[in-house]
Amino acid sequence: MAEARSPRRKPASPVTINEVAHAAGVSTATVSRVLTRSGTVSASLSARVTAVVAELGYTPNVAARSLSLGHLGNVGILMPSMTNPYFYDVVEQVGIGASAAGFRLLLADTGGDPHREEQAVADLRPQVDGLILLSSRISNAGLRRLGDKGEPIVLVNRLESGVGLPAIAVDNFTPTLDLCGHLLELGHTEVAYLSGPSLSWQDRERWRAVETARRLGLAATRIEGDGSLETAADAVEDLLATGASAIVCFNDLSAVSVMTRLGDLGVRVPDDISVTGFDDIPLTRHVRPALTTVRSPTSVVGSGAWKLLQARLHSPETPEPVIVTADLVIRDSTSTPGR
């Protein structure tokens, strides 16, 4: 008569893969193949290993497994602000591609500070396989240093020559010039431009377009801003003091804040003054009047950024920058000059 075997007890200390293999009477390689579903293992053997894993309460060491496979399974994304819906939409699209490839996202808000951003890059690099810098504020010299190291880093919405980093960006110049042309067609001859952050490549490109429109007969005054709701509201009196018949805002957040403040002051949009934005965040379709803006395709930008990073993880080559087109969206916040 066979001797009855007492049931195995879970050890007090964490169970190792070697203990699982010993208990199941197989090699550690077989246990690994069962857990990762890689290679060929018979159904009966797989069932036996799985039962032992459950009985002993074995939990795979994800970090150790990642190191053995040569990657960590993490991707870092740095952005100037987590409060801007535009950034969230881009990150969401990156996340879709990353998740499908088995990667997790680690996010960092740098507050638009280049020093904080550089420190965040240094802090995150040991924890991730690659980084995506969204609207980076790091200096060209700093980006060049990262490029010289061959770091797996992708720039999003910033194009700089000679930095050696893959990049994808929305064309900011052309649609902003189209926006200025729209205002000229309505009869506007003078606009006030509420700027974005001083270190923003996108602001540089949008202001360049507004300045170019001067050749077409559109005078422009620049009022400094930073793309936030609070700063935009505080700038309204200065914007009105320019005497411009239209306000061109750096982004939609600024434009919505400006329209709200104008309403508080009894200034009607667009009857008294026209207002425009940039990005086409969902809010722009629900404010009244609906905002004339430029639609920046976040789905294309986010998925494209992930593809660039994925390619960089497998090859040191730096492809040509990817430029994404954006379209003018005319709604109700612009009309013929009212004053």
Q: Where are the domains of the chain?
A: 17-60, 70-170+298-324, 173-296
Each residue's pLDDT tens digit, 127-184: 999 999 999 999 999 999 999 988 899 999 999 999 999 999 999 999 999 999 999 9
Round the average pLDDT of the chain to a whole number and report it.
90
Each residue's pLDDT tens digit, 220-276: 999 999 999 999 999 999 999 999 999 999 999 999 999 999 999 999 999 999 999
CATH number of 173-296: 3.40.50.2300
99-105: average pLDDT: 92
Say what the pLDDT of residue 117 is. 97
**Higher model confidence: residue 9 or residue 305?**
305
For residue 33, name the pLDDT band (cuts at 50, 70, 90).
confident
Flag whether pLDDT at 65 surpasses 80. Answer: no
% of the chain with per-residue pLDDT over 70 = 91
For residue 67, name the pLDDT band (cuts at 50, 70, 90).
very low
Q: Where are the beta strands (DSSP E) in the chain?
A: 74-79, 104-109, 130-134, 153-156, 167-170, 190-194, 219-223, 246-249, 274-276, 293-295, 322-324, 327-329
Rounded to whole angstroms, the Cα distance separating 297 from 169 reads 10
Flag whether pLDDT at 13 surpasses 70. Answer: no
Say what the pLDDT of residue 4 is. 44
Say what the pLDDT of residue 339 is. 53
Rounded to whole angstroms, the Cα distance separating 105 from 120 reads 14
212-222: average pLDDT: 97
Decide if 70-170+298-324 and 173-296 have a common fold: yes
Flag whether pLDDT at 62 surpasses 60. Answer: no
Each residue's pLDDT tens digit, 14-31: 778 788 888 998 887 787
For residue 1, name the pLDDT band (cuts at 50, 70, 90).
very low
Token pair 């013929």 in the structure block, residue: 336
Say what the pLDDT of residue 315 is. 87
Flag whether pLDDT at 189 surpasses 60. Answer: yes
DSSP reduced 3-state for 255: helix
What is the pTM for the complete model shown? Answer: 0.79
Q: Give the class (CATH, top level) of 70-170+298-324.
A: alpha beta
Is residue 301 within 8 Å of residue 168, measured between CB atoms? yes
Say what the pLDDT of residue 103 is. 93
Rounded to whole angstroms, the Cα distance separating 26 from 49 reads 8
Flag whether pLDDT at 35 surpasses 80. Answer: no
Token pair 């994808």 in the structure block, residue: 168
DSSP code of residue 196: -
